[in-house]
Structure 1
Amino acid sequence: MIASGSRYVALGSSFAAGPGISPIVDAPAGRSGNNYAHLVAQELGLDLVDVSYSGATTAHVLDTPQDAAPPQLDSVTADTALVTITVGGNDLEYVGTFLRGSFLNTVAKPATILGRRFANRIRARVSYLKDTASYGAVTESLTTVVEQTRQRAPEARILLVDYLSLVGPATRPRIDVPLNEEQLPSIALLADGLAEAFAKAAAATGADLVAASAASRDHAIGSAEPWTTGFTMLPPNLGGFVPYHPNAAGMRAVAGLILETVRT
C-alpha cells in the first residue's frame, strides 16, 4: 500500500486529463479537477502532480514539449511513489479518426442531394485502418515510457491505464455515433490494437496493467450507463460537450479500477 502523503505523478493524454469534466483546473491542458488522478489522490491522501495534457502523444511524455509544457517525464522524481500512464491513443489518431469520420459522415448526409457518389467521396477521406507497424511503434513507445519512468523513480509503483472503450456491444450507428456498419468495426479494431499495445508493454516491463478498456465494454456509447460521450458538433459553451471522451462516471470508474489495483 502507498503511504499517505506520497508523491503521485499522473502522465497522459486527454483520457487522463478529462477535458469537459467540471471543474477544469488547467484550460490549455483540458485538465479536470475530477479526473481519475485527482480522485485517486484524494482517496489515498497523495501529493498529486498531474501533468496529463489533452492531445499528448508518447513523444510529449518522453522528450517533446507540448505548448508551454515540458516533457511530462520531467515531473517524475526519485521520491515518486506512484505513476499512472494513459497515452498512445493520439499516436494512432484513435479519437481523431473517430471524430473525423463522424464529422464527414454528418456533412455527407445532406450532401447526398448532390449525388451519392459525391457524398461517398466525402466519407472516403478518412482511413480507419492502421498497419501492424503502427501498433508495434506504440507498444515500443509505451515500453520506453515505463522504462524511463523506472529509471527516474526506481521505487515507484507504475500503472499502465489503458483507454475506456468507446465502442461496445450496445454501440450502433445513430445520431451520436454517425458511423455506418462498416466503419464502426474498424474503430473497434483500432481500440483493440491500442489495448493490446498496453498489455504487451505491461508484460514486457512488469508494470501493472489497469485494463479500463475491458472493464468498460458494457459501458460504451449506446449502453444504459455510458462512461464516455458520443458525438456532437455543438461546442460546450453552446450546450455541447467534448465528444468521444470519458465522462464523469467514466473517470470515477477508472479511479475505482486504479484503487483496486493499488490496494492489491
Structure 2
Amino acid sequence: MTQLARTSRSAARTASLALAALGTAAGLIGGFMAPVAAADDAAQPTYDNYVALGDSYASGAGGSPVIDADCDRTGQSYPSVIAAAVKAKSFKNVTCSGATTAEMAKAQGTNPAQLSALSADTDLVTLTIGGNDIGFTDIITNCVVGSFSDPTGSPCKKHYNESGSDAIDTRINSTASKLTVSLAYIRALAPKARVVVVGYPSLVPDDGKVCRPGVPFADGDVSYLRDVDKKLNQALADRARSAGVEYADTYTMTIGHDMCQGEADRWIEPIETKLAPAHPNSWGQHAMAYGVYDQLLLK
C-alpha cells in the first residue's frame, strides 16, 4: 500500500478522493486509501460536465451495481468515482465493454457513437481505449491454450512472431494511429475540455513470475504479456502527449496487485473468476480512479 502514499501531499489528495467516493462506491477506496486531514478545498479539481469514454476497463465490467448490462457498465467504475470526486454536475458515462477506437465515431449495437456525448460545454473527458483494438481477449485466450502444449516455453510469443516480426507490435502501432484520430475528434467536439487518456493497469506480475495453475500462462509468456501491456501503455502515452492531452498512469500503482496475487492483494481478477477475467475488480477500479485524480491535481 505504500506505493499509493508517496508523499503527505499525495495522501491529502487521496483522502479527498476517498471521502468523495463513499456515497458512490460504498467507500471501497477508503480500504487502501486511508483518510487523512482534508486537503484545502480550493486545491480540489471540480468540473461541471464530465464525459467518460472507453472500453470495459473504464465501464467497470464485472462489478456492481450494473447500470447498463449491454455495456457491462457499473457504478463502481473509475469514471463513477471520479464523477463524485470532482463534483460533476453533469456526468455522461458512455463507456462500453468491447469498444474499440472505431466505436468512438460509430454505433456499437444500439449504443450511439461515444463521441456523440461530447459538446462545447464538456470540460472533462477521460478515455481508456486500445485493448480491444489489439485483440487482447484473443491474445489472453491464445496464451492460455498455448500453455497446455508448452508450459515451460513461450508458445504465445512464438505464435505472434511466426512471420518473423511481432504481430502484436504491429497492432499496437496501428492502434496508436487510430487513437490520434480519436483525440483530434475529441478536441474538435469539446474544445474547452481537459482530456485525459487513462492507461491500463498491471495485469500480470511485473517481475515476470509464473503463477500456474491459478493463471495458466506458459513460463515465458508471463513476461511477454507484461511487455504487451507496457508497450500499449507507452503508445497511448506518447500519442496523448503528441495530441496535447494528458496521460494518467495506472500501471505503476497496480504493480504487485495483478491477477496472480492472493485475494486480499489482488486488484485484477484471474482467468477463472465469477467477475470479468483479466479486468480490475472494485479495488482495481478505485486504484485507477486514484491515478486519474492524481493527474487532475497536477494543474
- Is TM-score (shorter-chain normalized) higher than 0.5? yes
Q: Using a 3 Å threshold, how does the CA distance of structure 1 residues 248 and 202 change in structure 2: closer, same or farther? A: same
Alignment match of 1:133 (pick from 157, 170, 173): 170
Deviation at 1:255, TM superposition (A): 0.8
1:252 is matched with 286
Q: Using a 3 Å threshold, how does the CA distance of structure 1 residues 181 and 146 change in structure 2: closer, same or farther? A: same
1:231 is matched with 271
Letter of the structure 2 residue corresponding to residue 138 of structure 1: T
Alignment match of 2:253 (pick from 205, 212, 215): 215
* Structure 2: gaps of 5 or more residues: 1-43
> Does 1:76 pair with 2:118?
yes
What count of residue pairs does the alignment treat as equivalent?
A: 244
Letter of the structure 2 residue corresponding to residue 246 of structure 1: P
Q: Is the 8 A contact 2:103 2:114 kept in 1?
A: yes
Alignment match of 1:53 (pick from 78, 96, 99): 96
Q: Is the 8 A contact 1:97 1:127 kept in 2?
A: no
Deviation at 1:131, TM superposition (A): 4.7
Deviation at 1:123, TM superposition (A): 7.9
Q: Using a 3 Å threshold, how does the CA distance of structure 1 residues 131 and 260 change in structure 2: closer, same or farther? A: closer
1:237 is matched with none
Deviation at 1:9, TM superposition (A): 0.5
In structure 2, what is the Cα distance between the partners aligned to 1:193 and 1:139? 11
Q: Is the 8 A contact 1:159 1:208 kept in 2?
A: yes
In structure 2, what is the Cα distance between the partners aligned to 1:134 and 1:210? 22
Deviation at 1:23, TM superposition (A): 0.8
Deviation at 1:48, TM superposition (A): 1.0
C-alpha RMSD of matched pairs (Å): 2.4
Identity %: 28
Query: Structure 2-normalised TM-score?
Result: 0.75
Alignment match of 1:169 (pick from 175, 194, 206): 206
Query: Structure 1-normalised TM-score?
Result: 0.84
Q: Is the 8 A contact 2:211 2:260 kept in 1?
A: no
1:148-176 deviations in whole A, cap 9, x for unaligned?
10101111000000111101236423123
Deviates most, 49-58 or 251-260: 251-260
Deviation at 1:144, TM superposition (A): 1.5
Deviation at 1:22, TM superposition (A): 1.0
In structure 2, what is the Cα distance between the partners aligned to 1:228 and 1:244? 6
Deviation at 1:145, TM superposition (A): 1.5
Deviation at 1:142, TM superposition (A): 1.4
1:181-224 deviations in whole A, cap 9, x for unaligned?
12222212211221111111122112111011222222222235
In structure 1, what is the Cα distance between the partners aligned to 2:168 and 2:282? 33
1:261 is matched with 295
In structure 1, what is the Cα distance between the partners aligned to 2:109 and 2:177? 24
Stretches of 4+ moved more than 4 A in 1? 122-126
Q: Is the 8 A contact 2:157 2:224 kept in 1?
A: no
Q: Is the 8 A contact 1:58 1:145 kept in 2?
A: yes
Higher relative contact order (CA 8 A, sep 6+): 1
1:227-249 deviations in whole A, cap 9, x for unaligned?
211111x6xxxxx2211001100
SS in 1 for 2:292: helix
Alignment match of 1:196 (pick from 207, 216, 234): 234
